Amino acid sequence: MGAITRTPVWLLWLVMMMPALVLAGWAIIQGPEKPMPMGILLGLFILCPLLYWGLVQWGRKPGMPPTAAAQAPQVKVEPAPAKPPLRPIDKEEETALQGCFPWSVYYLQTIEYLPQAMICRGQLRTSPTEAYDTVRDNVRRQFGDRFLVIFQEGMQGKPVFALVPNPKAQAQGRAKPLTRPGLAVGLLLLTLITTTAAGAGLMGLTKAQGEADPSLLWQGLPYALALMLILGCHEMGHYLTARRYRMDTTLPYFIPVPFFLGTFGAFIQIRSPLPHRRALFDVAIAGPLAGLVVTVPLLLWGLAQSTVVPMPEEGSGLLSFEAINPTASVLLALMIKLTLGSQMGLDQAVHLHPVAIAGCLGLVVTALNLMPVGQLDGGHIVHAMYGQRVGAIIGQVARLLVLGLAFVHSELLIWAILLFFIPAVDQPALNDISELDSRRDLLGLIALTLLVLIVLPLPGPFARLLF
């Protein structure tokens, strides 16, 4: 998204998560037996997608059309001149640029000058990795760090090179501090306070009781620690993997709120272009997998501490924590069966322990991030696996499937609408042609399978066999 709009990623993510958080907060505060007023629901349906679209348009960079993400990497760029020079190199430099493309590696045919890039078209004569490394190194020798070299699929399926001005070189001396440990620690401590208060509310503590005896608020600490551990591990997975590839990235920042669940999550911002599709895949999948490593044992423990209750007459969904339907998710059903066993029946629900609520929220966050659309982790994964163009097609199909699934999971309806406002085309890596190895392809398929197991309700015949 950084290649399209200057609007902060955390703000767009917050708008996208707002409907789910409002619904979850309503279910926790009012209980599943009291439906949300229709006016609020309509407001969420209308305002959140419009707000998301408006924020993207408000922050759109001058001269950057919606499809420009296919020609620019994800780099935070300082404001550029209103009219960049159409021809950023002179005739002598053009001759030097032509010499950067050995005929045995990439036979250069034409150079096309655009406001945002120089497009170098030709014929690939060796492996994509060798071609990119050779041309990149030659460009660096001739022009230093003046340009970023991008290698991506062209309009006719042929790989093309694009040279874009390097924002880091242009912004030397004006760069702001990337990591602010004081801010990160301050937000973490503040979020610990707000999530502890939210957890105490989940334990049944009223506002009057909390004011009379503040020590009772410590009852919410298990929920707070579990939820922050899940969210923190998710973001640290992204952060550590990005640092392993020597990319510039901020520290994970939590977003505290004094209501609902106590937090709107956590985020990081990567301010370097991704070097290749392997790095794109590794950074994208590291977050969901790291989050799941923590989510699964916490959820199993929390379910073991939960209680079985009668199923509400109006039924319940994946976010009805007071009486959650075990068949709302295939993965959740398997975990409930593993922990509660013979206590469960088809006419029974589960009143979740606060740690189990944090675990369920971890599953929801994982599923949302694994949606194979645009800038989400799942969108990065399918882009890295199948290429930018095929990944965009998969994103379009996923939007329609989630919209259909929303008729079964009503909680997904607002997310389904928001997915249509997320750009389907993911920005390319610098080397966007070299493919993944078989191990990463298998890991990507496992991640997408986990997404299906989380969001897909347990079919009736299997539910009767399991419970």
> 140 is in which domain, residue-wise?
79-170
Q: Give 286's contacts (C-beta < 8 A, 6+ positions apart).
A: 237, 238, 240, 241
Please report where in the chains the tokens 């259909």 appear, as a residue.
404
* Angstrom distance (rounded) from CA 326 to CA 442: 29
84 φ/ψ angles, rounded to the nearest 5 degrees: -65, 150
Domain C-terminal end among 139, 170, 201: 170
The neighbouring-strand residues paired with 270 are 249
Domain C-terminal end among 170, 188, 222: 170
- 259 and 382 housed in the same domain: yes
Between these two residues, 430 and 218, which has the higher pLDDT value?
A: 430
What does the pLDDT look like over 238-292, one tens digit per residue? 999 999 999 989 999 999 988 778 888 888 988 888 999 999 999 999 999 999 9
210 within domain boundaries: yes
What does the pLDDT look like over 341-370, one tens digit per residue? 878 777 888 989 999 999 999 998 999 899
- 194 and 296 housed in the same domain: yes
Our measurement of the distance from residue 1's CA atom to the centroid of its chain's CA atoms, rounded to an integer in Å, reads: 11
Residues 57 and 65 sit within 8 Å (Cβ to Cβ)? no
Between these two residues, 458 and 381, which has the higher pLDDT value?
A: 381
The neighbouring-strand residues paired with 267 are 253
Q: How many residues does the chain have?
A: 467
- 59 and 151 housed in the same domain: no
Q: How confident is the model at residue 421 (pLDDT cuts 50, 70, 90)?
A: confident
4 within domain boundaries: no
* Predicted confidence (pLDDT) at residue 401 exceeds the cutoff of 80: yes
What does the pLDDT look like over 423-458, one tens digit per residue? 777 888 999 999 999 999 999 999 999 999 998 888
Amino acid at 435: E
**Run of H or E including 460:** helix 460-466
DSSP string, 206-260: -HHHHHH-GGGGGGGHHHHHHHHHHHHHHHHHHHHHHHHTT--BPPPEEEE-SST
Domain C-terminal end among 113, 135, 170: 170
72 within domain boundaries: no
- 367 and 432 housed in the same domain: yes
69 within domain boundaries: no
* CA-to-CA separations, 370 to 65, 276, 302, in angstroms, rounded: 27, 20, 24
- 319 and 258 housed in the same domain: yes
Residue 164: CB atoms within 10 A of its CB come to: 22
- 40 and 159 housed in the same domain: no
- 163 and 218 housed in the same domain: no
What is the rounded (10 degree) CA torsion for 416, 418, 423, 426? -70
What does the pLDDT look like over 36-68, one tens digit per residue? 665 565 566 567 766 776 776 666 544 444 443
271 within domain boundaries: yes
- 184 and 330 housed in the same domain: yes
What is the rounded (10 degree) CA torsion for 73, 78, 80, 85? -50
* CA-to-CA separations, 433 to 25, 125, 154, 292, in angstroms, rounded: 44, 14, 10, 30
- 114 and 229 housed in the same domain: no
pLDDT score for 29? 59
Which two tokens mark 203? 């334990």
3 within domain boundaries: no
Which range (37-51, 149-163, 410-424) has the least confidence? 37-51
Which two tokens mark 365? 């966050």
**Nearest alpha-carbon partner for 373 in 319, 442, 423:** 423
**Run of H or E including 120:** strand 118-124
* Angstrom distance (rounded) from CA 196 to CA 274: 37
- 220 and 339 housed in the same domain: yes
460 within domain boundaries: yes
68 within domain boundaries: no
Q: Report the alpha-carbon angle 205-314-207, nearest 5.
A: 15
- 407 and 370 housed in the same domain: yes
**Nearest alpha-carbon partner for 111 in 97, 128, 129:** 97
* Angstrom distance (rounded) from CA 180 to CA 96: 41
Sign of the Cα torsion 314, 320, 322, 325 reads positive
> Quick one: average pLDDT of 109-135?
91
pLDDT score for 63? 43
- 262 and 393 housed in the same domain: yes
pTM over 0.85: no
Number of domains in the chain: 2
Instruction: Give the CATH number of the domain where residue 121 resides.
Output: 3.30.1360
Residues 4 and 53 sit within 8 Å (Cβ to Cβ)? no
